[in-house]
Chain A
Amino acid sequence: MKRSLILWIPLVGYLIFLGIASLGLNRDQQTTIQSRMIGKPVPGIELPAASSSNPALSTKEMADGKPRLLNVFASWCVPCAAEAPVLAQLAREGVRIDGVAIRDARADVDAFLARHGDPFQRIGLDARSTLQFYLGSSGVPETFVVDGKGVIRYQHIGAIGPQDVDTILAKLREAEI
């Protein structure tokens, strides 16, 4: 009796494996990768100006006493155009926003700003995603809340919608303390 029970063990093991594997197959494969840089200072990188209208961006100058948003975007990115009105609204409310244009060209950024508005103070051109890697950012658009000491306090992944404005403003207020 005992012997025949032992013989079933491999089959049971196989069925357990099969169950886990089929569960894994049905799970959503794309996961959101949160940056591990939250709570750490913004890496200091100097980027050239991405547009004709905004000054260049050096992330070494982020620790100027007041919180701000660091928006990672690109002129070729469709959701970035979708979040532009929300960024414009935030800028009207007095939020300081710096931009990082990923893998972009000046003419394209100029056209993007002319079409969707320019809520940015400074815009740096990150031609090879360097700052993006330093930030632990995994795509566009993404927005970081940076406090007055230049420390990253919050990361918003994806386009900022009207429903996210309250959260962003709350995180900015938190960053002031």
Chain B
Amino acid sequence: MRRALPFLLLAVALAAPIHAQTALPPAPYADRQLDDPALEAKATALMHTIRCLTCQSQSIADSNASMASDMRSEIRERIARGEDPEAIRAWLIERYGDWISYKPTAEPILWPLWGAPVLLLGVGGALAFRRIRKHRKGSA
């Protein structure tokens, strides 16, 4: 044990810079689930569709950035207080714009996204209909 002590101290000394990104421990609900499973499910669903400001290709549920941790805690605390997830999303969009949400909106720029399935189904249906009619005529 006595021999291990210097190594232990060294390990502790070297471990410090890892925490240097911020000076504080994570916010209370950054990595702790809410006690009520139904509320936690709501919070998790929302967190998976909110984009991290630091690691911009990740959701805040997937990111270890300290801002994402703080945002997870903020969301869980608001949900625990009874706030509606979509109201929290709207609150964030009001501050950061649509960019922060992964959930598609009804903005004009996204109309092709919503329209494409309808259009493709229509075209496919028409093609199939013509094919079938032609086939029936041919066999009759």
- Contact surface of A with B, Cβ cutoff 8 Å: 29-31, 33-37, 74-76, 102-105, 108, 127-130, 132-136, 138-139
Q: Is the CB of A35 within 8 A of B57?
A: no
* A102, A133, A135 pick with most chain B CB within 10 angstroms: A133
Stretch at the interface among B1-9, B22-30, B34-42, B131-139: B22-30
What would 12 more interface pairs be, CB under 8 Å, given A104-B24, A128-B70? Answer: A29-B56, A33-B53, A33-B97, A34-B97, A37-B95, A74-B23, A103-B22, A103-B23, A127-B27, A129-B71, A133-B71, A138-B54
Q: Which residue of B lies closest to A130 (CB)?
A: B74
Q: Is the interface of B mostly helix, strand, loop or mixed?
A: helix
Q: Is the CB of B56 within 8 A of A31?
A: yes
Does residue B96 face the partner (Cβ distance < 8 Å to A)?
Answer: yes
C-alpha gap A75/B74 in the complex (Å): 22
For the complex, what is the distance from the CA of A39 to the CA of B58, rounded to whole Å?
A: 29
Give the number of residue pairs across the A-B interface with Cβ within 8 Å. Answer: 69
Complex Cα–Cα for A102 and B66 (A): 10
Distance of A9 from chain B, by nearest CB (Å): 11
The chain B residues found within 8 Å of chain A, CB to CB, are 20-24, 27, 53-54, 56-57, 66-67, 70-71, 73-74, 92, 94-97, 99-100
| Other-chain residue from A30, A33, A104, A128 in contact with B74 (beta carbon distance below 8 A) | A128
In the complex, residue of chain A having the shortest beta-carbon distance to the beta carbon of B94: A36
- Contact with A138, one of B27, B57, B96 (Cβ below 8 angstroms): B96
Q: If A103-B22, A139-B54 touch, does A36 touch B96 (CB 8 Å cutoff)?
A: yes
Q: List 5 A-B contacts (CB under 8 A).
A: A31-B56, A104-B23, A128-B73, A129-B71, A129-B74
Q: Contact: A36 with B97, CB < 8 Å?
A: yes
- Given contacts A30-B56, A33-B53, A37-B95, are A129 and B21 in contact (CB under 8 A)? no
